A and B are shown apart, each in its own frame.
Chain A
Amino acid sequence: MSKAKVATVWLDGCSGCHMSLLDIDETIIEVAKKAELVYGPLVDAQEFPEGVDVTLVEGAVSSQDDLKLVQKIRRRTKLLVSLGDCAVTSNVPSMRNGIPPKVLLERAYVQGADVNHRPPSDGVPGLLRHAVPVHEVVKVDLHVPGCPPKADAIGYVVMELLEGRKPDIAGKVKFG
C-alpha cells in the first residue's frame, strides 16, 4: 500500500501548532508508517506538489502570498484541515484588523523605529486588508481549533484521516 501524501503549511501563525504536531509522541511512528510528508516547514520541498491527500494549514490568511498559496493548496489537496485558532478564527493575527494596513505599517516602521523610517517594500508580500480565517477564502473540510490544539487531538485527527475516517472532534476541542 502506498503511503498517503501529507503536507503542512505555516501561514500567519506562530508555529505553535507545528510544535504541537511534533508533540504527538509515539503516535508519530504510526503516522510515519502511513504517511509521507511532502511539503511544509518540516521538509525541504520548495514547491507545493500535486495530488496531496491531506494538508494541515496553520495560520490566518494575512498577505497576498498567503492567499495565493492557500488557493494553490486547495486546488492540489483532497482534504484541507484548518489547524489551530489562527486558521480557524484568525485569532491573534486578526487583532490588527481594526487598523488599515498602511496606518499599521507607518506605526510600526516609521513612528516605532529608531532608524530607517520606512515600511519594508522589497521581498515582503503586501498585507491583505484583514487577516481572515482560511475558510473565508477556500473550502475547508475540517476545523481543529485550539491555541494550539492539544497534541492528543492532532494525533487523533491525523490518524483517523489516515485510516480513511472523518474524525468527530466536536466537544473534544475548544477555542483558545
Chain B
Amino acid sequence: MSQKISIRIDGELIHANSDQSILEAAHAHGKFIPSLCHMKGLTAVGACRLCIVEVAGVGRLLPACTTPVQDGMSVTTQSDKLRRYRKITLELLFAERNHVCAVCVSNGHCELQDLAQKLGVTSIRFPYTYPKVPVDLTHKKFTLDQNRCILCTRCVRVCTEVEGAHVWDVAGRGVGSRMVCELNRSWGESRYCTSCGKCVQSCPTGALAEKGFAVEEMTKRTEPISRLTDLRGANV
C-alpha cells in the first residue's frame, strides 16, 4: 500500500508516494533529470546511468530510476559532479558505437542527440571504437541498425511487458553486447514478432526504425504505449 511521504529534491520539499522512484517523484514535480533507458510504463532497469543523483548520507551516486523514495530523503539532481559524470557516461555511449547523426533517420528526433545538446557535449574525449556491428534489414516493415544502439533495452522490455511477445534480448557481455531477435534469428525469420512496432516507437535513437524513411524523417511516439500501460493499471 502506497503512502504519502515527504522528500527534498534540490532543497525543495515535495510530497511523493512511497512506491515511486526518485525519477518518478522528480518528474511528477516537473523536475528534469536526464535519462535514456527510462520509459513511462516499463520496468526501470538503470541501464544508461544518466539519471544518477546524489542522496544525502549515501557515499555513491545512485540511479534515480531504480532507487525508491524514502521518507525524509534529500536528493540532489544537479551539481558539478553529476554534470561531469553524466557527460562522461554520454560520451562513452557515443564512443561505443558508430553514431553518424548526419545520415541517421532519426537526426533531429533522437533522444541521444538531444541529450548531448542539453548536457553541452560538443565533442567526445574518448577514442571512438568503430565496432563492426550487424544491420538487420530482413523484416518487411522495420530495420535494426546496431551502429545506433545504446543498449537501453527499451525494445526488450516493451516487447516482453506490453506486447507479450518477447522477441528481443541482449546477447554477449560488456562492449560485445548486441541485440538479438529470438536466440539470434534474423528479424525477418522471427516466429513471434507481431510487427506491432512498439519496439521501434520505444527506441530512443535510430537503431530501430521503419522502412521507407530517409534521413531526419523518422519521428517516434512513446506516449501511446505509456497510456496503454496506464489504462491496464500495470504502470510501475
On A, residues with C-beta under 8 Å from B are 82, 85, 88-92, 94-95, 97-98, 130, 132-133, 135-136, 140, 143-145, 147, 169-171, 173-176
Contact = CB atoms under 8 A, between A and B. Distances in A.
Contacts of A91: 100-102
B79 interface: no
Nearest to B130: A97
Contact of B122 (A90, A92, A97, A145): A145
Contacts, number: 78
Contacts of B117: 171, 173-175
B60 interface: no
Given A89-B101, A97-B98, A171-B117, 4 more contacts: A94-B98, A143-B122, A145-B123, A170-B122
Given A88-B122, A133-B123, A143-B122, A98 B130 contact: yes
Nearest 4 interchain pairs by C-beta: A176-B101, A170-B120, A147-B102, A143-B123
B128 A140 contact: no
Interface stretch (B31-39, B47-55, B103-111, B150-158): B103-111
B118 A171 contact: yes
B62 interface: no
A95 B123 contact: no
Interface string B115-139: 0111010111101101110000000
B222 interface: no
B113 interface: yes
Contacts of A170: 120, 122
A85 B101 contact: yes
B123 A92 contact: no
Contacts of A94: 98, 100, 128, 130
Nearest to A142: B122
A169 B117 CA distance: 10
Nearest to A144: B122
B102 A92 contact: yes
Nearest to A147: B102
A95 B98 contact: yes
A89 B130 contact: no
Contacts of A135: 123, 125
A130 B127 CA distance: 11
A143 B103 CA distance: 20
16 contacts: A88-B123, A89-B128, A91-B101, A94-B98, A95-B98, A97-B128, A133-B128, A136-B127, A136-B128, A140-B123, A147-B101, A169-B122, A170-B120, A171-B120, A173-B122, A174-B117
B110 to A, nearest CB: 8
Contacts of B114: 174
Contact of A176 (B104, B125, B127, B132): B104
Contacts of A95: 98, 100, 103
A97 B128 CA distance: 10
B130 A92 contact: no
Contact of B100 (A92, A136, A171): A92
Contacts of B120: 170-171
Interface string B42-85: 00000000000000000000000000000000000000000000
